[in-house]
């Protein structure tokens, strides 16, 4: 895949993308705030994703309303991000959390947790009963999510595709062995019974958005 600089997308544009009812949330104790993403976040998103194409995909999906893009920032600028995809993913009908990333220099200060909480708030605002995600089965992040109320609900073979955000052409594909994790949101009782066997399902996702 050819990476693109995306110069047109990096012009100063402070219009929020994919907003869903709540604006900026601040945490004075850590100096981190979470806000809706903007098109001018593209350079930072490209750095987080290690791919200009992935960053551009997320910005465009949020701009078109299929996703909500959230950015954590402090006085130095953006330090982390996460996205919520609202439909057509691996654990319907629940919205899908993906792309959580915090700069290495800012980890351990609560930015990741604040991003996840903001994503859960966005899902509640849209009436979702639970929020889902997946993670590689051997990734320690599974335990990080479980400590925050997420539960493994099934093993999953995640079928991913890499898509050029400008042409929408598939440029690569593959599979990854993951766990689907799900957390019920306040006032709901989504089925989050832990996995008890080796039953595996298969689903699909997009690398630019996974």
Sign of CA dihedral 87, 90, 95, 97: negative
CA-CA distances (angstroms) from residue 183 to 26, 119, 153, 176, 206? 23, 12, 10, 22, 22
Kindly report the pTM of this predicted structure: 0.76
E-strand ranges in 2-66 read 25-27, 32-36
pLDDT > 60? residue 209: no
pLDDT tens digits, 101-127: 999 888 888 999 999 999 999 999 999
Per the model's pLDDT, the better-predicted residue between 9 and 64 turns out to be: 64
Read off the tokens for 195.
Answer: 């996995």
Residue ranges of domains in the chain, CATH in brackets: 7-209 (3.40.630.30)
Residue 29, by phi and psi: left (phi above 0), alpha (psi -120 to 50) or beta? Answer: alpha
* Mean pLDDT of the region 176-189: 86
* Mean pLDDT of the region 177-198: 69
Q: How far apart are CA 107 and CA 97, in angstroms?
A: 19
As a whole number of Å, the CA-based R_g of the chain is 16
Q: How big is the chain, counted in residues? A: 210
CA-CA distances (angstroms) from residue 33 to 50, 63, 68, 92, 127? 23, 21, 16, 30, 24
pLDDT of residue 54: 86
What is the residue-averaged pLDDT of the chain?
81
């Amino acid at each position: 895949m050819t990476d693109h600089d995306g110069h047109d997308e990096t012009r100063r544009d402070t219009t929020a993308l994919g907003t869903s009812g709540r604006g900026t949330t601040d945490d004075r104790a850590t100096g981190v705030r979470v806000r809706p993403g903007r098109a001018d976040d593209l350079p930072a998103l490209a750095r987080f994703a290690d791919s200009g194409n992935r960053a551009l995909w997320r910005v465009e999906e949020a701009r078109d309303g299929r996703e909500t893009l959230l950015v954590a920032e402090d006085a130095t600028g953006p330090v982390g991000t996460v996205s919520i995809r609202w439909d057509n993913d691996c654990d319907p009908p629940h919205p899908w959390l993906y792309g959580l990333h915090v700069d290495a220099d800012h980890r351990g200060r609560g930015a990741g947790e604040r991003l996840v909480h903001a994503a859960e708030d966005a899902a509640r605002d849209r009436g979702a009963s639970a929020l889902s995600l997946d993670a590689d089965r051997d990734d320690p992040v599974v335990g990080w999510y479980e400590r925050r109320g997420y539960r493994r609900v099934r093993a999953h073979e995640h079928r991913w595709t890499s898509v050029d955000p400008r042409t929408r052409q598939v440029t690569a594909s593959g599979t990854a062995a993951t766990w689907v994790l799900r957390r019920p949101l306040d006032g709901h009782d989504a089925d989050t019974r832990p996995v008890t066997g080796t039953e595996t399902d298969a689903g699909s996702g997009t690398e630019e958005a996974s």
